Structure 1
Amino acid sequence: MRTSFISTQTLMNSPRNALPRLQGELATASKELTTGRRADLGLSLGVGTAESVRLRAEVASIQRYVDGNSAMSAQLERTQATLDDMRVQADKFQQMLSGISEADGASSVLQQQAAGFRDALTSTLNLTDGRRFLFGGMNSGQKPVAAFDEGPGAAIAVAFNTRFGFDPSDPATGSIPAADLKDFIDNEFAAFFEEPGWSATWSDASSTNLNSGISALERIETSANANEPAMRKLAMAYTMVSALGTEHLKGSALQMVMETARSLTGTGTSELISISTRLGTSQNRIEAANSLMERGLDAVSRRIDKLESVDPAEAKTRLDMVSTQIEMSYSLTARILKMSIMNYV
C-alpha cells in the first residue's frame, strides 16, 4: 500500500494552476466569436494553411487591380471631360471664324480672341491630377506644353521676320500677298506644329500613351498626350489667327487665313472625338475587367470563409463553458483558502 502527502497548499494550487490554460482558451474563444475566424489557422487547418495563404494572396492581388482601376477610371473621366471642353472651345472658335468680316476692328477682335483660345488650350494640356500631367503621355511627370510666351512665340516671330523682313505686329503685314503668306503658313509656320518642330518648340510630352495593367492578363492605353495630331492642329489654328498679324490683314490674305484656320479647327475637332472614343473603349474594358474580378473575388472569398470561419453558436458555447470553468476555479480556490484543520479539532 502506498500513501501520498496531501497538504493545504497542494489543494489550493491545484485549481489555480488550471487558470492560465483556461484564460488562453477564453481569449481564443472570445477572438473567434468576435472575428468569426479561427484564432490559430496553423493549428486548426494543418496542411490546409497553405491553401488559405494562397487564397489570401490571390485576393490581395485582385484587390490591387480593382483599386488601381478605380484610380484609372477617375483619370479617364477627367480626361474625357477635358476633351469635351476642348471641343466646346473649338466649336466656339469655328463659329467666330465663320462670322468674321472685314469691318473695321473685326479682325483685331478675332486676333485677341484667338490668343485667348490658344492660351486656354495650353493651360488645358498642362492639367494635372496632383500626381501627374494628364496629357504628358509616358512623360507624365513633365509639364507637357510650353506657354506661347515661353519660347514658341519668339521662334515664330523670328521665322516670320526672316521670311518677310518685319515682325507680324508690323502694319506692313497687311501688304503681304495672300500667296506668299500661304506659302509661309504651309512651310515655315506649319513646321512648328509637325515633328520635330513641335517637340523642339512646344512640347515636352511623350507621344507614347500610358499603358496600364487592368487585370493579370490585360493591359490597355489609359491616357492621351499633347502630341496628338488633334492638339497640334488646334494649336496651329489658334496661333495662326493670333500671331501672324491678323489684325492688319484684309481681302484675300485674311480670307485665306480664316479658311485655313477653319479647316484645321474642323479636322482637330473630329480627331478629338476619335481620342474620346478610344478612351471610352478603355473605360468599357476597365468596367468589364472589374466585373470579372469581382466575381472572382466572391468565389475566392467563399472558399476562404469555408476554410477559416467558425460556427458562431459553437464559439459562443465554448466561451460560456470556459467562463463557467474559470468562475468555478476561482470559487473553489476561495473555498479551499477558507479550509482549516482547526475547524475539525
Structure 2
Amino acid sequence: MKTSYVSNLAIQTAMRMTIQQNQMDLLKATQEQTTGRHYDVGLTLGATASRSLNLQREIDRLNSMKSTNSVVTQRLSGSQGALETMAKAAEKVRDTLVTYKGNDAASQLKIQKTEILGALQTFTAAANTSFNGEFLFSGINTDAKPLADYTATSAAKTAFDAAFTAFKTANSITSDDQITVTQMQDFIKNTVEPMFTGTGWDANWSDASSQNMTSRISASEVIESSTNANTNGFRMFAMASVITAELMDKNVTPEVRAAIGVEALQYVEQGIAGLNAERSQLGISESRVKKANTSIDAQLKLVNTHVADLEGIDPIETSTRINTLKVQLETSYTLTSRLQQMSLLNFL
C-alpha cells in the first residue's frame, strides 16, 4: 500500500478566488441598489447603449437650458425691481410738479428743485443697476454704465447751459424775465427736446446700446431679456427733470413758469408711460420663461422615465441577490477558516 501527500492549498486557492468574485459581485450589486441603474450600462444594454447615451445628452441639454433660464429669470426680476424704483421716481417728479404748481416764492422753488434733483439721482442709480457684473439697462453693452449722473460739471448740464445761453443771445434776451411764453415753449420744443431725442442723448447721457439682450429659453424660442436706457421712458423722464430743475427757478414771469410746468408735466407723463411699457414687455418675457421651464420640466420627466426603463434595475431582485451574496461570503469565510485549521500538526 502506498500513501501520498494530500495538500489543501488548491482548495484554499479556489475558495479565495470564490470570495474575491463574490466580493466584486456584492460591490456591483450594492452600487446598483444605491444608484438604481446597472453597474455597467454598456455591458448590460449592448447595442442599445447608444440610445441611452442620446437620452443622457438630451437630459444634459435640457438641464443646461433650465440653468440658463434661471439666470434670465434673475436678470428680468432685477430689471423689474429697478424699473419700479424708476417709475416711483418719475411719479415723485409728477407729484412735485402738481404740488408746487403756481408757487413763485423763491423758498418753494428751491425745495421743488431739491426734490426734483433727488428724484433724478434715484432714477439714475436705479438705471445703473448691475447683476453678476453686468449692467441691466445697457443693452448688449453690458460692461458700459448706461446713464451718466447729472451734476454741475456733467456733459448734460454743460450742454443745457450752453443751449440756454445761445437761445437768449439769438433772441436778444438780456434778462430772464424778458422771455415770453411763446419763446420758452419754442426753446423747450425745438432746442431742448432734440437734445434728449437725438444724438445729444448718446453724447451727453447714455452709453447704452439700443439693441437689447436676447436669450434662448427653449429649443425654438428666443426672447428679449433686457431693456435699455435709450427708450422713450428714460429720455422723457430725464428731460422733464432737467427743464424743471433748470428753468423753474429762473427769474421768469409767472406765466412762463406755468408754461414750463405744463411742458414738464407732459414729458414726465410720457416718461411714466414709457417705463410702464417696458415693465409690461419684461413681464411678458418673464411669463414666457416660466412657461418654457414648465415645458422643460415635462420633457425632463419624460426622458428620465425612458432612461430609467433602459438603465434601471429591479430593486427587489437586486436586494435578493445582495442577501444571497452575503450568505455565500459568510459560508466561504467559514470554510476557509476551517481549511486553514487542517494541519497534521494539530494531530501530533
- Using structure 1 for the length normalisation, give the TM-score: 0.91
Aligned partners of 1:223, 1:179: CA distance in 2, in Å? 40
Correspondent of 1:274 among 273, 277, 288: 277
For 1:244-255, what aligned pairs fall within 5 Å after superposition?
A: 244=247, 246-255=249-258
Aligned partners of 1:342, 1:89: CA distance in 2, in Å? 100
3-state SS, counterpart of residue 182 of structure 2: helix
Aligned partners of 1:321, 1:249: CA distance in 2, in Å? 100
3-state SS, counterpart of residue 197 of structure 2: coil
The residue number in structure 1 matching 2:212 is 209
More displaced stretch, 136-145 vs 188-197: 188-197
Deviation, structure 1 residue 195? 2.6
Contact between 1:108 and 1:247, CA under 8 Å: does it hold in 2? no
Deviation, structure 1 residue 147? 0.6
Aligned partners of 2:26, 2:159: CA distance in 1, in Å? 80
Contact between 1:108 and 1:246, CA under 8 Å: does it hold in 2? yes
Contact between 2:92 and 2:119, CA under 8 Å: does it hold in 1? no
3-state SS, counterpart of residue 65 of structure 2: helix
The residue number in structure 2 matching 1:69 is 69
For 1:185-224, what aligned pairs fall within 5 Å after superposition?
A: 185-224=188-227
3-state SS, counterpart of residue 91 of structure 1: helix
Deviation, structure 1 residue 5? 8.0
For 1:109-120, what aligned pairs fall within 5 Å after superposition?
A: 109-120=111-122
The residue number in structure 2 matching 1:129 is 131
Deviation, structure 1 residue 188? 2.7
2:287 is the alignment partner of 1:284: yes
Aligned partners of 1:6, 1:310: CA distance in 2, in Å? 46
Once the two structures are superposed, what CA deviation does each residue of 1:9-62 show, in whole Å capped at 9, x if it has no partner?
222222012232222111101111112111111111111211111111111111
Distance change in 2, residues 1:119/1:174 (3 Å): farther
Correspondent of 1:295 among 284, 294, 298: 298
Distance change in 2, residues 1:120/1:173 (3 Å): farther
More displaced stretch, 214-223 vs 77-86: 77-86
Contact between 1:102 and 1:250, CA under 8 Å: does it hold in 2? no
2:59 is the alignment partner of 1:59: yes
More displaced stretch, 95-104 vs 289-298: 95-104
Aligned partners of 1:108, 1:312: CA distance in 2, in Å? 79
- Using structure 2 for the length normalisation, give the TM-score: 0.90
1:147 is aligned with what amino acid? D
3-state SS, counterpart of residue 148 of structure 1: coil
Correspondent of 2:335 among 332, 335, 338: 332
Query: Which 5+ residue runs of structure 1 have no aligned equivalent?
Result: none
- Identity among equivalent positions (%) equals 30
Once the two structures are superposed, what CA deviation does each residue of 1:309-329 show, in whole Å capped at 9, x if it has no partner?
111111111111222222222
Q: How many residues align?
A: 338
Correspondent of 1:141 among 134, 140, 143: 143
Deviation, structure 1 residue 304? 0.8
1:8 is aligned with what amino acid? N
Aligned partners of 2:251, 2:121: CA distance in 1, in Å? 21
The residue number in structure 2 matching 1:313 is 316
Correspondent of 1:163 among 163, 167, 179: 167
More displaced stretch, 71-80 vs 224-233: 71-80
Aligned partners of 2:186, 2:20: CA distance in 1, in Å? 95
Query: Which 5+ residue runs of structure 2 have no aligned equivalent?
Result: none
Aligned partners of 2:269, 2:218: CA distance in 1, in Å? 37
Aligned partners of 2:104, 2:164: CA distance in 1, in Å? 26
Aligned partners of 1:10, 1:308: CA distance in 2, in Å? 40
Once the two structures are superposed, what CA deviation does each residue of 1:264-301 show, in whole Å capped at 9, x if it has no partner?
11122122222122112112211221111111111111
Correspondent of 2:156 among 147, 152, 165: 152
